[in-house]
Amino acid sequence: MSFSYKNHSLHVESVDIADLMDDYGSPLYVYSRSDVENNWREFDSAFGTHPHLVCYAVKANSNLAVLNVLAKIGAGFDIVSLGELERVLAAGGDASKCVFSGVAKTEYEIKRGLEAGIRCFNVESSSEMSRIGEVAQSLNMQAPVSVRVNPNVDAKTHPYISTGLKENKFGVDIDDAIELYQLAHNSKSLKVVGLDCHIGSQITDVSPFLDALDKVIELINKLKDNGIEIAHLDLGGGVGIKYDDEQTIDISAYINEIMNRTGNLEIILEPGRAVVGNAGVFITKVEFLKQNSDKSFAIIDGAMNDLLRPAFYNAYHQVLPVNENSNGVDASWDLVGPICETGDFLAKDRKLSLSQGDYLAIMSAGAYGFTMSSNYNSRPRVAEVMVDGVQHYLIRERETIKDLFKQEYIIND
Ligand SMILES: *Cc1c(COP(=O)(O)O)cnc(C)c1O
């Protein structure tokens, strides 16, 4: 972890966050390059020489600089849209290390994926399989495909980020998968390369992963009996991180377990949150303190449009003062933003000593932070900075007010 206090001021690697706020303004996302790299390497190195590819899930944080540092250390990428594919290519990523997931790939997305030479499409339905076959045929190409199966296991996570149950929209029912594989196997424009599953996100117990693994291994054996061999097994992402005091998964023990059960089969993983979540923070300033007989509100300049997770999932983020010694008003504060929604909070009931103008670090904000941000209430999206040792780099400019409506027109009549 590269976030720690030095001289009572919170630092990212060797850079004082207070200095970053002077340089770049508030609110601000700040990422640690070494944390991003080390988190990805933890997955990669656990495999040793076993055939594998760790495909970072771009949707967790798709900033070009983040993708670029990962591309430079050999990462593959899990993409879910044309936009993500183009980001990976623009960031110097290798298309042949990209797996394309998502339930509704358009014809154009498939075409562009094929032309770019992606590693495989993770197919989520028979109609999608047909569409991929047709596009490949029209280009005289063969599309590499992998079926995303739904192993029907309960990931025991928030219902919005649970994807491996029968009632979810994702993947193909594991009992129907063989038929779909046969269809692909018999098509000249499709090439079966893998099997894929992804059961959810922020999973903090290894048992649902191992249950899913057992089910897909059973399917791999059935496929073999039907003359269909796959070259890789993609077990998706979903490894949870520590936001508060949750127990998390021992990544190398999990990967060892996978290797023990799958022989020499190449393994693909698609971690997103586990690579960037704890590698980033969101910094916001206290604008006003507002106390009544029941409640103490700290009104901050960051809001749900900047960091949606608390409002959307009731997610918990640790809050640390940038200046550890700030002594203001001691209370149990709700941190609320300027947006006209009661759900606009970033944290509730936090014992902090606050004064107007203090900076607060909302921790573990590197994943599903900036990527889920919006312009709601016509708020420009904030700047992003990456720290590398003693250096810091602007990796996304703060949007301007003009940016907000530059694509809009008034009608003249
Ligand atoms: C979101 C997603 C991931 C990444 O999930 P994390 O919980 O961030 O690791 C991986 N694969 C697929 C298909 C996804 O939709």
Indicate whether residue 270 lines ligand 1 (CB < 6 A).
Answer: yes
When mean pLDDT is compared over 80-84, 148-152, 325-329, the highest value belongs to: 80-84
Indicate whether residue 101 lines ligand 1 (CB < 6 A).
Answer: yes
Of the residues 59, 98, 147, 269, which should be mutated to test ligand 1's pocket, given the most ligand atoms within 8 Å of the CB? 59
Q: What are phi and psi of 321, to 5 degrees?
A: -70, 140
pLDDT tens for residues 83-108?
999 999 999 999 999 999 998 999 99
Instruction: Return mean pLDDT, the chain.
Output: 95
What atom of ligand 1 comes closest to residue 270's alpha carbon?
Answer: 10
The rounded Å distance from CA 129 to ligand 1 centre is 21
The rounded Å distance from CA 59 to ligand 1 centre is 8
Every domain of the chain and the residues it spans: 3-31+277-404, 102-269
Of the residues 56, 101, 241, 364, which should be mutated to test ligand 1's pocket, given the most ligand atoms within 8 Å of the CB? 101
Cis geometry, peptide bond prior to residue 338 (ω within 30 degrees of 0): no
Decide if pLDDT at 167 tops 70. Answer: no
Decide if pLDDT at 369 tops 70. Answer: yes
pLDDT tens for residues 329-358?
999 999 999 998 889 999 999 999 999 999
The rounded Å distance from CA 333 to ligand 1 centre is 33
Pick the CATH number of 3-31+277-404 from 3.40.1260.20, 2.40.37.10, 3.30.70.20, 3.40.50.2300: 2.40.37.10
Distance of CA 226 to the CA centre of its chain: 36
Indicate whether residue 274 lines ligand 1 (CB < 6 A).
Answer: yes
What atom of ligand 1 comes closest to residue 122's alpha carbon?
Answer: 13
Return d(Cα 245, Cα 276) in angstroms, integer: 18
Return d(Cα 224, Cα 75) in angstroms, integer: 30
Indicate whether residue 148 lines ligand 1 (CB < 6 A).
Answer: no
Distance of CA 299 to the CA centre of its chain: 28
The rounded Å distance from CA 399 to ligand 1 centre is 28
The rounded Å distance from CA 347 to ligand 1 centre is 25
Arithmetic mean of pLDDT, 407-412: 96
Q: What's the fold here for domain 102-269?
A: TIM Barrel (3.20.20)
Indicate whether residue 317 lines ligand 1 (CB < 6 A).
Answer: no
List the one residue out of 39, 12, 60, 55 whose CA is nearest residue 309. Answer: 60
Cα–Cα separations (whole angstroms), residue 86 to 79, 91, 322: 10, 8, 36
Indicate whether residue 198 lines ligand 1 (CB < 6 A).
Answer: yes
Of the residues 78, 146, 246, 313, which should be mutated to test ligand 1's pocket, given the most ligand atoms within 8 Å of the CB? 78
Arithmetic mean of pLDDT, 398-405: 98
The rounded Å distance from CA 237 to ligand 1 centre is 5
Return d(Cα 378, Cα 247) in angstroms, integer: 39
pLDDT tens for residues 200-254?
999 999 999 999 999 999 999 999 999 999 999 999 999 999 999 989 999 999 9
How far does the chain reach from its first CA to its final CA, in angstroms? 59
Return d(Cα 398, Cα 273) in angstroms, integer: 24
Give the catalytic positions in this structure.
340
Indicate whether residue 237 lines ligand 1 (CB < 6 A).
Answer: yes
Give me the residues paired with residue 172 across strands: 149
Residue 161 pLDDT class (50, 70, 90 cuts) = low
Strand 3-6's sheet: what is its strand order?
3-6, 9-12, 15-16
